[in-house]
Each structure stands twice: as C-alpha cells, then as structure tokens.
Amino acid sequence: MFAAATKSFVKQVGDGGRLVPVPSLSEADKYQPLSLVVKKKRCFLLQRAKFTSTPFTLNDILLGDREISAGISSYQLLNYEDKSDVSLYGRRGNHMVNDVGINVAGSDSIAVKASFGVVTKHEVEVTTLLKELTTRKINFDHCLIRQSRSSRKAVLCVVMESIRTTRQCSLSVHAGMRGEAVRFHIIDEQNPKGRDKAIVFPAHTTIAFSVFELFIYLDGAFDLCVTSVSKGGFEREETTTFAVLYRLRNILFERNRRVMDAIARSELYMDDLFSDYYYDKPLSMTDFSLREGTHVRVNLLNHNIPKGPCVLCGMGNYKRETVYGCLECFFNGQKYVRLHAVPCFDVWHKRIK
C-alpha cells in the first residue's frame, strides 16, 4: 500500500526519471542524503534496477576520520493529494492486492487515496561535496565494499536528495466496483468484511529519493557519476591489464617509428654521398676505376657468386641488386663486396682510402 502510493507519487512528479520511490515504510528513514544504497542490475532490459538500503553513510566507507561537511539545502516542493482507481486485472492491481491485504471478492478495482500534504525536498550541495571528495579514498576493508565488490551486478550509490512529508499522513484503500458514488468513505464499524483499509504514518517520512552512482578505482580513488551517461561500479583487474597492453602497444609503435626514421636518415646520408661524388667527379658508364694500383671491378657471376643487393644503395627500402663487385674487399665475413659499377664502386673505395 505504501509502495503503491510512493510509486504513484514518483510517476506524477516525474523529475526526468531520476526519482526512485521508497519501497517500504519500515526502511523510509534509511534513504537520507549521503546514505548508501546498493543498486542491483536486472537481467532483463525492460526491468528497472532494484535499490536496497544499507545502514551506512558515505562517511563510513572513507579512509580517515574527517567528516564530510557538505551542506544540505531544503525547500518546499508541492502539496500532494491523490485519488486514483487501480484495476485488479493489471500488474499494478495484483501488486496492490498483495500489499494492502483486503477482501477483494466481487470487486474489479481498488480506490486509493494518498494524502501527503506539503512535501519538502532535501538535497546535498553537489559542488561542495565534489571539492571535499577530491583527495579522499575508499576503505576496501569495509564489509559493504567487500560484499559489493564481489558481485558484478551490484553498484554502490549515494543518496543525493530525498523528498519527505511535513505532517502526519494517511493512506486509504477501498475495494469495490467501478462507478460507485462514494469510494473513500471508510467507517470501520460498517466494514465487517474488511473491504477498506487505512494507515497513518508520521511526519518527516521519506517517500522518494535520487542517487549518484560511485565508480571505484583499484587504488581507492572514486568518482561520483553526476550524469546518467556515466555508470558506476568497480574497476576490474582485466581493465588494468588491457591498459598495460595498450601502453606496451604504443611503446612498440614508437620503437618501430624510430627504426624507420633511422633507415630514412641512412638513405638520406647515401644520397648525400652520391651527390658529393657526382659533384666532385663526373662519371660515365666506362669509368670503372681500372687505374693502376686500385681495386678492379669484376663481374661476380664469372666467379659463381649470384646477383645480390649493393652494399651501398641496396640496403634501404629498395633492394637495388647488381652483378658487379670487388673481390679484394671484405664485408660481413664475405670475401667479396657487391657494388654497382657506377657510382657505388668508386664511392666505396673513396670512403675506405
């Protein structure tokens, strides 16, 4: 009965879907600002998450003895009086029958009257709270943290605002047929069959609340999810492993980039060598350095040495191959050097002088 009335209140007040109705009158005092509640995700997409109260506040799960001093502002929200008929054939009607526990034989609906009067809204000053929590960390040894961390469906939330009554309130229901003229007149002496029921609850009873989810990191730091886009929960080990692999990938990419830059610089150096040689000494296809006392350019195929890359211009991205070389020079443990006839042969021997 109380749950049905709070659900109706939240549905009519709205607030963009942030408000959550208090499910039970016995737990209404546990949904105060800065109290902790556990949000359990449902398996099905169409079902709303379930909120469970806890006996703890945000101060209880933080390291250190310094209390949170964020202020709580309050103001009057509205004056709420509601009268509605609920069909017994719908899902809401079935829940109502279970909640109110009255005789519904021969009835097709239940009349519900909720008189909350003036209700007030109490909310935490978010800006002040965020500044206070900048350097605070979560105590992982707290029993609530250990139990919530072990479940992937549990998300810790902080109550940021609550809506309370200001006076003694009443709820009444009447089971009957649609179209009756008097639906809310309840007289216990004329109600032997138990077809009417009423409850009265005290002032300052919380009937609705809203929360911010907590996202808790492995080092104890945490964020308040102030928007519906951001989601709460616990940082998992696999998330950290993924971050390490991502950083390793970036390191490898950076190393490969440096290697490619070094190769590019070496190719530029070879281009400079060739440019200097061309500038100092114009060459022709017949200039094979056959002067007396110098090494002789030979065709390596005649010495059973296969065609291969030139040691000067064939080591970059383009494998420039040649059949010519020098049998009197040594390179990489080989008793010959492959060199293009022009200009690599003379450039090579110019460098080793």
pTM summary value: 0.58
CA angle 239, 244, 247 (to 5 degrees): 125
Three-class DSSP category at 66: coil
Q: What burial class does residue 183 get, using C-beta atoms within 10 Å of its C-beta: 0-12 exposed, 13-18 middle, 19+ buried? A: buried
Q: What is the rounded distance in angstroms from the CA atom of residue 346 to the CA atom of residue 15?
A: 86
* Angle separating helix axes 344-351 and 237-280, nearest 10 degrees: 100
If you average pLDDT over every residue of the chain, what do you get? 77
Give the mean model confidence (pLDDT) for residues 13-37. Answer: 86
Question: Which has the closest alpha carbon to 116: 83, 79, 163?
Answer: 79
| Partners of 269 in beta bridges | none
- pLDDT tens profile 162-203: 999 999 888 887 766 554 433 334 434 444 444 567 788 888
Q: Which residue has the higher pLDDT, 330 or 63?
A: 63
Domain ranges of the chain: 1-234, 297-339
Three-class DSSP category at 232: coil
State the DSSP string of 128-192. Answer: HHHHHTSS--B-TTSHHHHHHHT-TTEEEEEEEEEEEESS-EEEEEEEE-TT-S-SS---GGG-T
- pLDDT tens profile 290-328: 444 568 889 988 888 898 888 877 665 666 788 899 988
